[in-house]
Amino acid sequence: MTRVVVTGAAGFIGSNIVKGLNARGIDNIIAVDDLTQGDKFRNLADLRIDDYIDADAFYGAFQDGAFGKVEAVFHEGACSDTMETDGKYMMDNNYGVSCALFAACQQRGTRLLYASSAATYGGSAAFKETPEFERPLNVYGYSKLLFDQRMRRALGEDFLRGASAKSHQVVGFRYFNVYGPREQHKERMASVAFHQFNQFRAHGKVKLFGEYGGYGPGQQMRDFVFVDDVVAVNLWFFDRPEKSGVYNLGTGRAQPFNDVAAAVVGTLTGTAHTAESAAAQGLVEYIPFPDALRGKYQSYTQADLSALRAAGCDHAFADVQTGVAAYMRALQSQG
């Protein structure tokens, strides 16, 4: 029976990966997390796992072979707070732990599929998985970039070509702006779609940043990717152990925050809206751009999918209008 580990299993993407594995009939899953924030348990309560291990106990035990043969580790555990300024904590948690896990996986013959981030690109105007475009704006982005660089050095040319001939599979996914169910615990780091759902429910309107970075109100553009698509691509590589490398995981299509607001308002009111029509009716409010984010904010992201497509992954990604509407319906059904 296939045994897998999911770190960060009670988190947003981790719990959705567990759900995706369950849908395939895989429940021999070791869930690893830190439940100091106790309400994260809700993300696992309806899922099937074989065991739960606290993160502090897992990594050393895994290195010692305590869990027997493990086919793959989906490593989603990390500090993803882009505003975190404690660089030592960030590097220990995101880089140091990942390096030790990689070494243990190679030693134990276990495949590693791990979360990188589009934050590795930071201030770049292009988003392709090569060093000239990697310009992180915060220590979170740097912690993710440094591990990607470590994999390039450790695994060499095969890894850069997307193969795993000389090692066990290692795949890094540079997640763009992921949204969808099971992110409620993330508080201020949750997606704009989640915040807008709650804003609309509480106040009958949603909020967007005003003008910033040469973009008009609500016109800053991101590559918004539905979490179901993120899971599908993770599992596509899980099915193909011969493929390694670092890959962008976004839709390849930048859309303005105004599109998110229009999808939220349109779904929750049951009336089709553009951002302009919603703003005219007081359903969208533009607020001043916060000083705390100036110089640390990506006003535009769009995943270059050429490497992903060259690897053979032809997954079709949902656009904002489709994905956000599905997400709003899911949130409504949860009450």
Enzyme catalytic residues:
140, 186
Which three-class secondary structure state does DSSP give residue 168?
Answer: coil
Contact 90/84 with Cβ under 8 angstroms? Answer: yes
Spatial contact of 78 and 134, defined as CB atoms under 8 Å apart: no
Short-list 220, 286, 298, 292, CA closest to 259: 220
Helices (H), the chain: 12-23, 42-45, 55-63, 87-90, 97-108, 139-160, 192-203, 227-238, 257-269, 275-280, 306-310, 320-333
Structure-token match 């106990």, residue found: 57
- Asked if residues 114 and 98 have their Cβ atoms less than 8 Å apart, the reply is yes
Angstrom distance (rounded) from CA 244 to CA 307: 11
The Cα–Cα gap between 154 and 148 comes to 10
125 class by beta-carbon count within 10 Å (0-12 exposed, 13-18 middle, 19+ buried): exposed
